[in-house]
Amino acid sequence: MKLILDFFPILLFFGAFKLYDIYTATGVLMGATALQMAIIWFMERRLQPMQKATLVLILLFGSLTLALHDDRFIKWKPTVLYGAMAIALAVALWGFKKNFLKMLLGGQLELPAQVWGKLNVAWIAYCLFMAVLNGYVAAYFTTEAWVNFKLWGYVFPIVFLVAQGIYISPHLKSDKPAA
């Protein structure tokens, strides 16, 4: 259920683009994301900071896209989001000496400090990579190519998350007592 909930706005966006145009797809994305966040809020009674930021940016950049009839706004939204995430993680880590990932997920995962540090740096690098990649596709490719990239580009976060899981798995503490 969670996986379907995570992907349904982008799938609806893609379908609306293929059937209509980028402006219809943008409206669909805005509505689907608002519905997605409402469902998450009703299920969990809260939204994570990333979910809030995503909602605000989709509504802001989507509104600009529709009001100004300019698809560049919705195309640059992921670059802004990923760039902001990279900056926030980097400033927290190197400026304030705080590991935001550990603060966010430390209650769910018990990992050594060096692993948290490497994960944080990996997230900074990943976010920068995705910001630059989306910016490149948004600037140099057609809107149709960008929409296709948005759908098929989901391979990047999947690969990143799988690699992250492989990296942290040896460091996770087992609940089973040693034999």
Q: For residue range 11-57, what is the model confidence (pLDDT) as tens digits?
A: 999 999 999 999 999 999 999 999 999 999 999 999 988 889 899 99
Are 162 and 141 part of one and the same domain? yes
Least confident of 31-40, 95-104, 115-124: 95-104
Check whether residue 31 and residue 58 sit in a common domain. Answer: yes
Global pTM?
Answer: 0.85
pLDDT value for 151: 85
Q: Which domain holds residue 77?
A: 71-172
The answer on 163 and 78 residing in a single domain is yes
pLDDT value of residue 5? 82
Domain boundary pick from 42, 68, 94: 68
Instruction: Flag whether pLDDT at 170 surpasses 60.
Output: yes
Q: Are residues 40 and 15 part of one domain?
A: yes
| Structural domain total, the chain | 2
pLDDT surpassing 60 at residue 82: yes
Residues 6 or more apart in contact with residue 92 via CB below 8 angstroms: 98, 99, 100
The one-letter code for the residue type at 169 is S
pLDDT at site 34: 97
* Residue ending a domain, choose from 48, 68, 88: 68
134 and 149 together in one domain: yes
Q: 132 in a domain, yes or no?
A: yes
Q: Are residues 59 and 1 in the same domain?
A: yes
Question: Tokens for 178?
Answer: 């040693």
Q: What share of the chain is helix, strand, coil (3-state, %, to 5)?
A: 80, 0, 20
Residues 59 and 98 in one domain: no
Count Cβ neighbours within 10 Å for each residue of 147-170 and write b for 16 or more, e otherwise.
Answer: bbbbbebeeeeeebeeeeeeebee
